[in-house]
């Protein structure tokens, strides 16, 4: 079918700020969609409030609105742009909900905007639990026993039919907010109440709890001619009851016979037809009873999702891109498969490797949150690992997580506790699903648990468990043999063991193992992700490593630069860094350099095979990176853009004589090492809050008394303010110092005088080693002491005097000059009593780079990448700071609704997951927009209740009067 000619302009709605359950996967899908539609000759209008996205870069749409994603704003955008169609299925639940609401209110009809992909009826059928059930029943698809209710009274009646334990699922929410499993009537009542509140339409579903059932997902695509194909099957390692976003998942499905898989496939095809998703992708979840094979459908997302991003990366089939093309009327047989070129997109990918996704949690940021995993999603990021076996992929995945584990490391020391206690602890951690369960499973095998016992406690399929057992058995054998023979080393590498973990097990250094491997030529080889298991020639260089006989990497003789990505999203290191990596890739490609991207985060644009010349989907560890360096011999490696992850490899890479581009490692070290940094400030005559450096608790106490409380305690070399605290007394000091020492790499902590009532400022700067230009000066709205990642900020400053701003400029340039900045630098400082105090300097891309770039209209990360390969700022035409005539406000969004019982007070430890941007000529309006974008609905009138501590009462009076 030819593409539609009755449409010229299409509106795409993004997903807004990064929150738990809705992360940068929607930037990936949105960016693909924008590109695909423009490629087909359509005008694209984009609405998204998140500045840290690639899709909101000016070149991806014809007009981009960085505005709050609300129905009101949507209407204004539509009225102004008059698009003929709106594609709502690529912006996650946020985009879908807003489009649905606009359709319901008749706005789309008024302006004659057609919903393409999924229309209002289809969205309702998939999202409204009752309608969904009805539709599935009609289509002959089995469902769990359930009933929809709108009140507690109805819920209690439903319980008689469904029985306890049961699941409560609110309709129209994101990532399962407000839902839960009820085991008794008290829990039941409270969850139902919460669920009714959380639901946009006050509706919840009471459903049979499929405890211990296996969970599967299928990614399905349909076109206008009703052709339906399955892109990928996913089997959850964790059983039903754990949100799929929090589950370890595996592609393809591992434990289904062909008949069972085909049945599920047919149900999925029937479901997408019955729901009426006209074109595009859907994610459909199923549960199977492992005892008798009974299959039921759980839910369906009539849009691209986190799983479809995963499926795209897992198979090489770009779901969002194809979905966009199907939405404008093309059919699957008319679209070529990018990877094989000669075959069409009308096929089902088949893979010849195993993919494991592991979620990344940050419970350490929320010590009071309940770390039990359930139907409400709690993870903040994920990694994907590809291996030729499940075992290899799993071990790669564990080290990709960056949680300080390089294998199935023991959680408990058998020697330290009585055996009975050890067994009890392990059992508890098997029964209660938690982020570390995979490690406890390995411990259980070490303690002699049988596969069947663990299966009973965890409901995890014994196929997965036995694979873990094989890894543990091998490790135990290795320990007993105590020496590393060549065949054993080869076997270990084939199984997926890292050098570090092998070293730990055998008590030898990883370097030694590396040298041995080099001597014996045990090298990683690279295989292609090609959608077709090798049946056709593939043209897209998307690789993963394994230890086998044939290497397929096509190494060119071009000048190559390798960019290390940021790994899994976490609080403190998220989409902003991926944004910078992507920009670096675009910039270097423009310069004719071959770009090699290394990353393991499936949600990102950086791991789209389109972004770079070559993609290595690998963990960012020294071993994995050096393996690629050995194969590719790049001219240089860029560490500056991926956040702390690549920077942590700087020393190791330098030792191996890898050419690190940008600011030299010794200057990076000055910025990171508090001692060296203090000397530098002294030299420049810059002030710093009174401070001291401690390597022990005793030293810390001494310093605290010297400079006086309150003090700020922080470790060296961390990101996102891990273990950073403001301390007001001695007792609290002891606790925090202990923790901070644990998190610091070099066991050094800095104790600062905490500046009360100061204004904090961030500066982003770019330099070419000789010339330096400020990208932006951002004034924090919250006072100093709140982590800069959590604070709202305004560019340009709204309350600072010219004199202060000039002082800030001077200090920034002086520091940049001293540190010989080549690339980006971020400076944090505080203003108190007309003096400025330098807080810290980071010689790398910061979280605020995308925001600043959007605010001033200059792609800083791109320029920085070009500078790093030898261009000067003069050549690039960026020689003068740009101060925009309007105000840009960045506001953070927080995951507190996910972590019940967690203190919502902000501090020096970062807690936010994402950000939004509000732009206006007036500061107040810009701030209001940022609040709306962050879903903080401010009332237009009413009374104000103000409560402050005594100390602040004087300060609040003028504010209250206004």
Partner 1 sequence: MKTVLFLEDGFYLEGIGFGYPGETIGEVVFNTSMTGYQEILTDPSYRGQIVCMTYPLIGNYGVNSSDRESSKVQVEGFIVKEHSRIESNWRAEGSLESYLETNKVVAIEGVDTRAITRRLREKGSMKGIISTVDFERESLQRKLENFPSIVGRDLVAGVTTKEIYEWEEDLGIRKMEKVKKLPFTVVVIDCGVKFSILRCLKEYVEKVIVVPAHTSLKEILKLKPQGILFSNGPGDPQPVNYVIETAKELIQRLKKKEIRIGVMGICLGHQILGLAFGGKAQKLKFGHHGGNHPVKDLTTGRIDITSQNHNFVIPPQSIPEEGLLQTHINLYDHTPEGSEHKELPIFSVQFHPEAGPGPFDARYIFGKFVDLITALS
Q: For the CA atoms of 582, 587, 589, 594, what is the dihedral angle to 10 degrees?
A: -70
3-class SS of residue 732: helix
Q: Name the residue nearer to partner 1 (CB basis): 37 or 351.
A: 351
Of 866-905, binders to partner 1 (CB under 8 A) are: none
Q: Which H/E stretch holds residue 219? A: strand 214-222
Closest contact distance (angstroms) between CB of 326 and partner 1 is 13
* Phi, psi (degrees; rounded to nearest 5) at 908: -75, -10
Q: Least CB distance from residue 521 to partner 1, whole Å?
A: 16
**Residue selected from 40, 62, 75, 348 as contacting partner 1 according to rule CB under 8 A:** 348
Verify binding: residue 347, partner 1, rule CB under 8 A: yes
Select the span of 320-328, 507-515, 549-557, 676-684 touching partner 1 (CB under 8 A).
549-557
Torsion angle, CA of 887/892/897/901, rounded to 10 degrees?
-120
Q: Which is nearer to partner 1, 333 or 920 (CB)?
A: 333
Q: How far is the CB of 533 from partner 1 (least distance, A)?
A: 4
**Bridge-based pairing state of the strands 560-564 and 636-638:** parallel
Choose the binding region for partner 1 from 123-131, 505-513, 544-552, 597-605 (rule: CB under 8 A): 544-552
Q: Inter-axis angle of helices 120-127 and 129-138, to 10 degrees?
A: 90
Nearest approach in angstroms of CB 389 to partner 1 is: 5
What is the nearest approach in angstroms of partner 1 to the Cβ of residue 85? 24
When the beta carbons of 291 and 940 are compared against partner 1, the nearer one is 291
**Calpha distance 521→515 (Å, rounded):** 10
Residues 120-179 that bind partner 1 (CB under 8 A): 140
**Closest approach of Cβ 82 to partner 1, in Å?**
34
CB of 620 to partner 1, least distance (A): 25
Q: Are 523 and 627 in contact (CB under 8 A)?
A: yes
Residue 549 CB, shortest distance to partner 1, in Å, is 4
Of residues 350, 374, 820, 871, which one binds partner 1 by CB under 8 A? 350
Residue of 77, 168, 256, 831 that binds partner 1 (CB under 8 A): 256
477 is written with which tokens? 């054998």
Q: Is the CB of residue 395 less than 8 Å from the CB of residue 941?
A: no
Q: Which residue's CB is nearer to partner 1, number 229 or number 781? A: 229
Residue of 269, 207, 265, 266 lying closest to 240 (CA atoms): 207
Q: By rule CB under 8 A, what count of residues binds partner 1?
A: 58
Closer to partner 1 by Cβ: residue 445 or 894? 445
- In the list 461, 623, 762, 790, the residue contacting partner 1 (rule: CB under 8 A) is 461
870 vs 661: CA distance, rounded Å:
9
Closer Cβ to partner 1, 230 or 605, answer by number: 230
Q: Give the residue, chosen from 190, 389, 488, 897, that forms a contact with partner 1 under the rule CB under 8 A.
A: 389
Nearer to partner 1, 157 or 352 (CB): 352
Out of 41, 163, 367, 534, point to the residue binding partner 1 (CB under 8 A). 534
CA–CA distance, 391 with 398 (Å, rounded to integer): 11
| 776 near partner 1, rule: CB under 8 A | no
Residue 390 binds partner 1, judged by CB under 8 A: yes
333 binds partner 1 (CB under 8 A): yes
Shortest separation between residue 703's beta carbon and partner 1, angstroms: 57
Which member of 193, 225, 405, 832 binds partner 1 (CB under 8 A)? 225
Q: Say if CB 852 and CB 776 are below 8 A apart.
A: yes
Which among 40-48, 338-346, 357-365, 785-793 is the span making contact with partner 1, rule CB under 8 A?
338-346
Q: Is 252 in the site for partner 1 (CB under 8 A)?
A: yes
Give the full edge-to-edge strand order of the sheet including 793-795: 835-842, 822-832, 759-768, 772-783, 793-795, 887-893, 914-920
Question: CB-wise, 271 or 506, nearer to partner 1?
Answer: 271
**870-876 own/partner pairs: CB under 8 Å, 24+ apart:** 871/591, 871/768, 872/768, 872/770, 872/771, 873/766, 873/767, 873/768, 873/771, 873/772, 873/773, 874/771
Closest alpha carbon to 355 in 323, 400, 412: 400
Residue 944 near partner 1 by CB under 8 A: no
Residue 27 or 217: which CB sits closer to partner 1? 217
Beta strands, E only, 858-911: 887-893
Placement of tokens 């860029």 in the chain: 638
Q: For 876, what's the count of Cα atoms within 13 Å in the CB-facing half-sphere?
A: 29
- Region of 299-307, 385-393, 796-804, 901-909 interacting with partner 1 (CB under 8 A): 385-393
Which one of 527, 614, 664, 866 is in contact with partner 1 (CB under 8 A)? 527
Q: How far is the CB of 252 from partner 1 (least distance, A)?
A: 5
Tell me the closest approach of the beta carbon of residue 76 to partner 1, in angstroms.
42
Footprint (CB under 8 A) of partner 1, residues 259-318: 259-263, 265-266, 290-293
- Report the C-alpha gap between 467 and 390 in whole angstroms: 7
Nearer to partner 1, 116 or 465 (CB): 465
- Of 38, 156, 462, 504, the one binding partner 1 (CB under 8 A) is 462
Cβ count within 10 A of residue 490: 14
Question: How far is it, in rounded angstroms, from Cα 386 to Cα 358?
Answer: 12
Q: Least distance (Å) from partner 1 to the CB of residue 809?
A: 57
Q: Please report whether residue 91 would count as binding partner 1 according to CB under 8 A.
A: no
Place of tokens 């409380």: 709
Shortest distance, CB of residue 338 to partner 1, whole angstroms?
A: 15
Q: Rounded distance, CA 491 to CA 493, Å?
A: 5
Q: Where are the alpha helices (DSSP H) in 111-212?
A: 120-127, 129-138, 152-162, 185-198
Q: Which 463-482 positions form the footprint of partner 1 (CB under 8 A)?
A: 463, 466, 470
CB of 390 to partner 1, least distance (A): 6
* Contact status: 399 vs partner 1 (CB under 8 A): no
Contacting partner 1 (CB under 8 A), which of 253, 274, 426, 838?
A: 253
Contact (Cβ atoms closer than 8 angstroms) between residue 74 and residue 13:
yes
Q: Give strand pairing partners of 713.
A: 725, 751
Smallest gap from residue 343 Cβ to partner 1 (A)? 5
DSSP string covering 763-803, please? EEEEEESS-EEEEEEEEEEEETTS-TTTS-EEES-SS--HH
Choosing from 43, 255, 771, 897, the residue that interacts with partner 1 (CB under 8 A) is: 255
Taking the least distance from each CB to partner 1, the nearer of 1 and 201 is: 1
CA atoms within 13 A on the CB side of 385: 27
Tokens 């789209």 map to which residue? 608
CB of 265 to partner 1, least distance (A): 6
User: Is 537 among the residues that bind partner 1 (CB under 8 A)?
Assistant: yes
Asked if 532 touches partner 1 (CB under 8 A), the answer is yes
Pairing of strands 691-694, 166-170: unpaired
Calculate the alpha carbon distances from 312 to 17, 230, 540, 781 in Å: 22, 12, 14, 40
Q: How far is the CB of 387 from partner 1 (least distance, A)?
A: 9
d(CA 295, CA 274): 18
637 beta partners: 562, 660
Cβ-based burial of 447 (10 A; exposed 0-12, middle 13-18, buried ≥19): middle
Nearer to partner 1, 35 or 214 (CB): 214
Q: How far is the CB of 185 from partner 1 (least distance, A)?
A: 33
Q: Under the rule (CB under 8 A), what is the footprint of partner 1?
A: 140, 225-227, 229-230, 233, 252-263, 265-266, 290-293, 332-333, 343-344, 346-354, 388-390, 451, 461-463, 466, 470, 527, 532-537, 548-550, 552
């Amino acid at each position: 079918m030819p593409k539609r000619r009755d449409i010229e302009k299409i509106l795409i709605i993004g997903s807004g700020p990064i929150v738990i359950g809705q992360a940068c996967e929607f930037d990936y899908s949105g960016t693909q969609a924008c590109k695909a539609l423009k490629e087909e000759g359509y005008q694209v209008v984009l609405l998204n409030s998140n500045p840290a996205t690639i899709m909101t870069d000016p070149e991806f749409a014809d007009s981009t609105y960085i505005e709050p994603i609300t129905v009101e704003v949507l209407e204004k955008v539509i009225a102004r742009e008059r698009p003929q169609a709106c594609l709502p299925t690529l912006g996650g639940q946020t985009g879908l909900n807003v489009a649905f609401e606009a359709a319901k209110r008749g706005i789309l009809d008024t302006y004659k905007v057609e919903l393409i992909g999924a229309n209002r009826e289809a969205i309702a059928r998939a999202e409204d639990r009752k309608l969904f059930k009805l539709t599935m029943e009609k289509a002959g698809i089995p469902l769990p026993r359930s009933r929809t209710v709108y009140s507690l009274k109805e819920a209690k009646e439903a319980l008689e039919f469904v029985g306890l334990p049961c699941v409560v699922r609110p309709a129209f929410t994101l990532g399962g907010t407000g839902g839960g499993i009820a085991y008794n009537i008290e829990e039941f009542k409270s969850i139902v109440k919460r669920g009714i509140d959380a639901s946009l339409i006050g509706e919840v579903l009471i459903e049979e709890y499929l405890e211990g059932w296996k969970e599967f997902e299928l990614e399905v695509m349909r076109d206008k001619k009703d052709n339906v194909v399955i892109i990928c099957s996913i089997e959850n390692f964790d059983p039903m009851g754990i949100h799929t976003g929090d589950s370890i998942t595996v592609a393809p499905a591992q434990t289904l016979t062909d008949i069972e898989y085909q049945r599920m496939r047919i149900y999925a095809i029937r479901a997408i037809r019955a729901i009426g998703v006209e074109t595009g992708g859907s994610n459909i979840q199923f549960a199977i009873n492992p005892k008798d094979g009974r299959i039921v459908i759980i839910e369906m997302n009539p849009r691209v999702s986190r799983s479809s991003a995963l499926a795209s990366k897992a198979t090489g089939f770009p779901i969002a891109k194809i979905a966009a093309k199907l939405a404008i009327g093309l059919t699957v047989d008319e679209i070529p498969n990018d990877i094989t070129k000669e075959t069409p997109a009308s096929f089902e990918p088949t893979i010849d490797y195993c993919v494991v996704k592991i979620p990344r949690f940050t419970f350490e940021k929320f010590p009071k949150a309940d770390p039990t995993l359930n139907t409400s999603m709690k993870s903040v990021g994920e990694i994907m690992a590809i291996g030729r076996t499940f075992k290899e992929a799993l071990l790669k995945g564990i080290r990709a997580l960056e949680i300080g584990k390089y294998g199935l490391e023991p959680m408990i020391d058998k020697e330290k506790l009585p055996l009975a206690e050890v067994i009890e602890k392990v059992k508890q951690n098997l029964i209660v699903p938690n982020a570390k369960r995979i490690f406890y499973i390995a411990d259980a095998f070490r303690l002699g648990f049988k596969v069947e016992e663990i299966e009973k406690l965890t409901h995890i399929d014994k196929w997965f468990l036995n694979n873990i057992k094989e890894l543990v058995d091998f490790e135990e054998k290795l320990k007993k043999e105590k020496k590393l023979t060549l065949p054993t080393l080869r076997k270990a590498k084939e199984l997926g063991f890292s050098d570090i973990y092998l070293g730990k097990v055998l008590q030898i250094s990883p370097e030694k193992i590396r040298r041995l491997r080099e001597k014996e030529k045990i090298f990683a080889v690279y295989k292609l992700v090609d959608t077709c298991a090798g049946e056709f020639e593939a043209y897209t260089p998307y690789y993963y490593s394994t230890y086998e006989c044939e290497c397929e990497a096509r190494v060119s003789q071009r000048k190559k630069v390798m960019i290390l990505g940021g790994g899994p999203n976490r609080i403190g290191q998220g989409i902003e860094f991926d944004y910078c990596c992507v920009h670096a890739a675009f910039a270097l490609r423009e310069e004719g350099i071959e770009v090699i991207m290394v990353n393991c985060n499936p949600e990102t644009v950086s791991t789209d095979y389109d972004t770079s010349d070559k993609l290595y989907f690998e963990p960012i560890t020294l071993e994995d990176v050096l393996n690629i360096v050995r194969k590719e011999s790049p001219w240089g490696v860029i560490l500056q853009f991926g956040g702390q992850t690549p920077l942590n490899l700087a020393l190791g890479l330098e030792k191996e004589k890898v050419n690190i581009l940008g600011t030299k490692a010794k200057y990076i070290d000055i910025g990171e090492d508090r001692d060296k940094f203090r000397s530098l400030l002294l030299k420049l005559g810059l002030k710093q809050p009174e401070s001291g450096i401690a390597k022990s608790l005793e030293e810390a106490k001494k310093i605290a008394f010297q400079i006086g409380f309150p003090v700020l305690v922080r470790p060296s070399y961390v990101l996102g303010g891990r273990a950073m605290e403001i301390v007001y007394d001695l007792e609290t000091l002891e606790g925090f110092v202990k923790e901070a020492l644990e998190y610091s790499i070099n066991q050094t902590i800095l104790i600062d005088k905490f500046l009360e009532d100061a204004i904090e400022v961030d500066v982003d700067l770019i330099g070419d080693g000789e010339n330096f230009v400020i990208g932006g000066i951002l004034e924090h709205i919250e006072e100093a002491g709140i982590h800069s990642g959590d604070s709202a900020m305004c560019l340009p400053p709204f309350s600072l005097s010219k004199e202060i701003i000039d002082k800030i400029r001077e200090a920034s340039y002086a520091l940049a000059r001293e540190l010989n900045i080549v690339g980006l630098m971020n400076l944090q400082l505080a203003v108190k009593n007309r003096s400025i105090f330098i807080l810290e300097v980071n010689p790398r891309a910061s979280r605020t780079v995308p925001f600043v770039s959007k605010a001033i209209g200059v792609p800083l990360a791109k320029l920085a990448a070009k500078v790093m390969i030898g261009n000067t700022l003069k050549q690039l035409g960026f020689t003068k700071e740009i101060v925009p005539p309007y105000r840009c406000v960045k506001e953070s969004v927080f995951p507190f609704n996910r972590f019940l019982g967690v203190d919502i007070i902000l501090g020096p430890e970062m807690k936010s997951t994402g950000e939004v941007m509000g732009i206006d000529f007036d500061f107040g309006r810009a701030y209001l927009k940022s609040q709306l974008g962050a879903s903080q609905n401010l009332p237009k009138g009413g009374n104000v209740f103000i409560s402050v501590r005594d100390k602040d009462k004087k300060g609040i009076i003028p504010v209250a009067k206004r």
